[in-house]
Amino acid sequence: MTITELQEKMDSGEYSARIVTEMYLERIEEIDKQGPKLNAIIELNPDALEIADSLDVERKEKGVRSMMHGIPVILKDNINTGDRMMTTAGSLALVGSIAPRDSFVAQRLREAGAIILGKANLTEWANFRGRNSISGWSSRGGLTHNPYALDRNPSGSSSGPAVAVATNLCSVAVGTETNGSIVSPASACSVVGIKPTVGLVSRSGIIPISYSRDTAGPMARTVSDAAILLGAMTGVDPRDPMTQESDGKSYTDYTLFLDPNGMQGARIGVARNFFGFDDRVDQVINGCIEEMKRLGAEIIDPVKLKTPRATKRLEKMRSRVFRYEFKTGLTNYLSELGGNAKVRSLKEIIDFNNQNKEKVMPYFGQEIFLRAEKDRPLKDEYYRAVVQESRRLAGADGIDAVMSQYQLDTILAPTSGPSGLNDFISIAYRRMGGSSEPAAMAGYPHITIPAGYMYGLPLGISFFAGAFQEPKLLKLAFALEQATRIRRPPQFLPTAGLEL
């Protein structure tokens, strides 16, 4: 059921927040822990039913706070909740870590009346520990499986949230992204994923990777549900100065922009340089493009949006900036935990991992951690110059320039190819293709919705645009979704192609 349908049933008295929560808890036990054993949920909120009861009383006595009132939400396990649940980034090094207070995202969701049902598994440390990491695997949570073909990877790093949403273990979920970590698993699991403009959603209380790129964002089965969740997450947060940029540019209700006729008159550029890695993927996306034409969109095909890699020197500088941002941000995060964490620094985490190598590093190492620990601190002017140069290449000289040149409303591309096999021996899983980098580098919004299937494996189509253009992207994505209604639920097949 959608959020709107759940609200209608709770308003009529047919359901209550407690009943809805109980049904999701039963499904998690049946599907995630038993049944196909997806391994999407890493921890459940022991207070969920009590919270649901209090929200039911409030509904009767005062009415609802918002469309999220009584709606169960799953958070990725790098998002703090100031309750009895841990926040670990999937790492055994942080097991036992209880956040002293909610992240701003969790706080906003509680204020909206949402029920934080639990935490979801992820690629350990949000895929920022070792070079050959396995998407969806963490030392705390194990391996999350793709529900469309259980021997396939769900992509990452927001693997658990994507699978939880796809298999109806919750209404909606919150993932995080630095580069592709929301949109890629959303594509692989046939759900909607929104990577917002950096600064639209606060990062305070979220285990960090990159201050210049990190953001949290919604994952849902429908564009409407994603829009409802996004509106509940926005707001200026004094603890995250970047959110000041969203003042006057954010909304608490993004459903205002959902228009089934939203394609009419839109100018859409096709970034063909992100095509060509598989003819079958291209065929699915080209089918979506034909549907957009039928809906009244003007298609400009092709437009050239290059992945902004610039020079090898800049690439090397960017890698160092990433590690610098991670180490600085992690140090600050751990200091806020006080005595709640058994590790106090990146070095202590590295030492813990070495001491528990068999459990923590059976499949891949911690090369990124080691490099970050050895790096010398960056000078502020050097750091700012590299971040600004990266954003210029991807933003002003990239997405902005192409949209201005062709007077576009959005640029589209395949989100990625179909998910690969889980292979612990050769670490063979690699995504085919991918279009997440330009919007990630620029700090711009990116939305993916289901586009179709290849041998039963989901494929997504991506839309991106300039800063704070979420309303426009939601309008276009909603119009295509409503016209095609392409998404179908997973069947938990043992491997791909059995339904053919």
Among 290, 157, 121, 218, which residue's Cα sits nearest to residue 449?
Answer: 218
Confirm or reject CATH 3.90.1300.10 for domain 3-484, answering yes or no: yes
| 121 touches 160 (CB < 8 A) | yes
Which residue type does 35 have?
G
Give the integer Cα–Cα distance in Å for 160 and 137. 10
Three-state secondary structure call for residue 143: strand
Taken as a whole, the chain contains a residue count of 500
Give the integer Cα–Cα distance in Å for 150 and 144. 9
Count how many Cα atoms sit within 13 Å of the Cα of residue 196 in the half-sphere of its side chain.
Answer: 32
Give residue for tokens 């923590």: 360
Specify the pLDDT at position 432: 67
Record the pTM: 0.98
Specify the pLDDT at position 428: 45
Specify the pLDDT at position 307: 66
Specify the pLDDT at position 341: 84
Specify the pLDDT at position 30: 97
Element (H, E) at 451: strand 446-454
For the chain, the domains span 3-484
> What does 165-205 look like in DSSP terms, one character per residue?
HHTTSSSEEEEEESSSTTHHHHHHTT-EEEEPPBTTB--TT
Start-end of H helices in 34-145:
48-62, 104-111, 124-127
pLDDT in tens, the chain (500 residues): 999 999 999 999 999 999 999 999 999 999 999 999 999 999 999 999 999 999 999 999 999 999 999 999 999 999 999 999 999 999 999 999 999 999 999 999 999 999 999 999 999 999 999 998 999 999 999 999 999 999 999 999 999 999 999 999 999 999 999 999 999 999 999 999 999 999 999 999 999 999 999 999 999 999 999 999 999 999 999 999 999 999 999 999 999 999 999 999 999 999 999 999 999 999 999 999 999 999 999 999 999 987 665 556 667 788 899 999 999 999 999 999 988 888 999 999 999 999 999 999 999 999 999 999 999 999 999 999 999 998 999 999 999 999 999 999 999 999 999 999 987 776 544 556 899 999 999 999 999 999 999 999 999 999 999 999 999 999 999 999 999 999 999 999 999 987 64
> What does 303-368 look like in DSSP terms, one character per residue?
E--------HHHHHHHHHHHHHHHHHHHHHHHHHHGGG-S--SHHHHHHHHHHTHHHH-SS---HH
| 436 touches 180 (CB < 8 A) | yes
Catalytic residue numbers, as ranges: 76, 157, 181
